[in-house]
Structure 1
Amino acid sequence: MKKTSKKKPSWSDLKRQLADLDRPALLGLIQDLYAVSKHNQAFLHARFALGEDVLEPYKSIIDRWVCPDVVRNQDISVAKAKKAISNYKKAIGRPEGLAELTVFYCESCMNLLSYCGMDDEGYFNALVRMFEQALKAIVALETDQQEDFVERLERVRHEGHNWGWGVGDDMDDLMAEYGFVEE
């Protein structure tokens, strides 16, 4: 390996190192990255469409962080849940997968709020922002793919009126803005 300077390494530095690897060395590196992290495994499975449900690991992370086990005193992390969606985007970012993950995020929040009262403006603001991201993802789909996702968001929106902080009203406005208005 070449000696590196004391500056913070960048992608360009790494790319130069990778260019020197032959195919077996590169495969060995990828195998090591695969073995070291479940996140790397999920990324590679999604990128190469391996397994029956490439979204499951991302859903598991989302659910863990926005709908934690309160009996076990698990904490909430909107950032970690959103990172799962960001990681999926980087891995493959298929429109229907993004729609599924963003709608699932909203549903997971709804599950937590259905049994656990909360007074966290940041959590509610993040939920409304994700609700909008879900709508953006849905409108990017073919019309015949949208209905199920819209129905699921309608359930979240309906429940949103029970949570305070104007969440339901914000969701109403977003549904109208994106052209999904209840008849």
Structure 2
Amino acid sequence: MKKTTKPSWADIKDQLSAFDRAGLLRLVHDPYAAGKDNQAFLRARFGIGDDVLKPYKSIIGKCLWPDVFKNQTPSVSKAKQAISDYRKAIGRPEGLAELQVFYCERAAVFCDDIGMDGEAFLAAPVRMDEQALKSAVALSYDERDAHVARLDAVRRVSCNFGYGVSDDMDTLFAEYVSDDR
């Protein structure tokens, strides 16, 4: 009796070794043609296009600034998934920081303009704010300062929110950003 196992990367790798160049190109083309997410992944991975962050920002923007007049609701998990997808595709630190800061900006402005409340929704931007600060302070001074300035604007907007969001963001900002930046 043969025991079945779950297919692994080693099984896929064995199958790939049988492909010639044309076969590998077809193999990559099929998922590319199958959907925009795959296209964004491959474009980001190979650095193709003017703005590899654009499709990820589009997803974040739609998820964190839905059309409330069409009864669309925000989706923190889908917005975070876009950042995770970018990280898997290429994960350059400056691109990751940009997406995280953009996430914080969109969530803050949406909450401020629409009046979104609820501890669960407001906790997500605080967690992303910490990730964005960590990413930003690891960049070169010029890049860091630009991202930190944007996060400072998010922090100032957050003073309009409840649930301790403003206090949490003030604490994070003080932890990651020195006064003499």
TM-score normalised according to structure 2 size: 0.93
Inter-CA distance 180–108: structure 2 relative to 1 (3 Å threshold): farther
Offset of 1:77 from its aligned partner? 1.6
Secondary structure in 1 aligned to 2:122? helix
Higher helix share: 2
| Distance (whole Å) between structure 2 residues aligned to residue 117 and residue 147 of structure 1 | 29
Could you tell me which runs of 5 or more consecutive residues in structure 2 were left unpaired when the two chains were aligned. none
Matches within 5 A, 1:78-157: 78-157=76-155
2:101–2:151 contact (8 Å) kept in structure 1: yes
In structure 2, the partner of 1:47 is 45
Count of residues paired in the alignment: 179
The percentage of counterpart residues that share the same residue type is 56
| Distance (whole Å) between structure 1 residues aligned to residue 138 and residue 16 of structure 2 | 36
1:171 maps to 2:163: no
2:60–2:103 contact (8 Å) kept in structure 1: yes
1:175–1:181 contact (8 Å) kept in structure 2: no
| Distance (whole Å) between structure 2 residues aligned to residue 180 and residue 122 of structure 1 | 29
For residues 126-182 of structure 1, the C-alpha deviation after alignment (integer angstroms, 9 at most, x for no partner) is: 110000000011011011221111111111000111011111110000011002449
Choose which of 23, 26, 32 in structure 2 pairs with 1:25: 23
Secondary structure in 2 aligned to 1:71? helix
Offset of 1:111 from its aligned partner? 2.1
Offset of 1:58 from its aligned partner? 0.2
Secondary structure in 2 aligned to 1:20? coil
Instruction: State the AA in 2 paired with 1:40.
Output: N
| Distance (whole Å) between structure 2 residues aligned to residue 156 and residue 163 of structure 1 | 11
2:110–2:116 contact (8 Å) kept in structure 1: no
Instruction: State the AA in 2 paired with 1:177.
Output: E
Inter-CA distance 73–182: structure 2 relative to 1 (3 Å threshold): farther
Secondary structure in 2 aligned to 1:124? helix
Instruction: State the AA in 1 paired with 2:26.
Output: G
2:57–2:99 contact (8 Å) kept in structure 1: yes
| Distance (whole Å) between structure 1 residues aligned to residue 73 and residue 16 of structure 2 | 39
Could you tell me which runs of 5 or more consecutive residues in structure 1 were left unpaired when the two chains were aligned. none
1:150–1:180 contact (8 Å) kept in structure 2: no
| Distance (whole Å) between structure 1 residues aligned to residue 117 and residue 177 of structure 2 | 30
Cα-Cα RMSD: 1.7
